[in-house]
Amino acid sequence: MPKSLVDVDLLQAALVGLEHRKSEIDRKMAEIRQRLSPDGTPAQAAGTSGAKRRRMSASARRRIAVAQRKRWAALKEATVVKAAPAKKRKLSAAGRKRIIAAAKKRWAEVHARKRAAAKKAAWPAAKKVGAKKAARVLKRAAVNLAARKAERKNIAAKGPVRAMEPVPTSP
């Protein structure tokens, strides 16, 4: 059965189109391999072999190992000679007392600012209701604050809080 001219032309055009698509796919695969390569050089395509690896004789490996051990020994010896123990600095009693005093002073200032802020926040309420009631409000605030501190101490003493397990819900 003779092939018609139209069939041959159509098949040749299809072949050219498929070769073009194949070259695009190859180019994209090469880009992806280059991205996957850790050092940025184009990676070899799968199935293609690179240069043959050279085998090293046992005696050559032995010579290299001996030379490397010799280098390490020289390096260790050099570091042992150089490494003199550094004098450890020690804090004097007077210096320690100064640091403690400064820390106490800073904390006293922090607590004083907190107390002043609490008084300032409670002061408008005291103006409206009178001195006796204001004193009660301040006292109650102080008691509540003390209770919260005690509660925090108890929680801290118990250890870390564990997360509760989720409760199953019925549909």
State pLDDT tens for residues 4-41.
666 888 888 899 999 999 999 999 999 998 888 877 66
Residue 37 counted as domain residue: yes
Which residue, 102, 154, 142, is CA-closest to 118? 142
Inside any domain, residue 67 = no
At 160 the pLDDT is 61
Q: Which has more confidence, 98 or 128? A: 98
> Is residue 86 a part of any domain in this protein?
no
Residue 128 within a domain: yes
Count of domains for the chain: 2
Residue 97 lies in a domain: no
For the chain, the maximum distance between any two Cα atoms, rounded to a whole number of angstroms, is 120
For residues 103 and 128, what is the distance between their CA atoms, to the nearest angstrom? 39
Within a domain: residue 153? yes
Q: What is the pLDDT of residue 125?
A: 55
Q: Is 2 a member of any domain?
A: no
Q: How far apart are CA 69 and CA 77, in angstroms?
A: 12
The answer to whether the beta carbons of residues 122 and 134 sit under 8 Å apart is yes
Q: In sequence order, which residues have a C-beta less than 8 Å from that of residue 33 and are 6 or more positions away? A: 42, 43, 44, 45
pTM over 0.85: no
Dihedral pair phi/psi, residue 91, rounded to 5° = -85, 130
- Give me the domain span that covers residue 152: 115-158
Assigned domain for 146 exists = yes
Q: What is the mean pLDDT of residues 57-65?
A: 95
For 45-55, what is each residue's pLDDT tens digit? 555 566 778 89
State yes or no: pLDDT of 70 exceeds 70.
yes
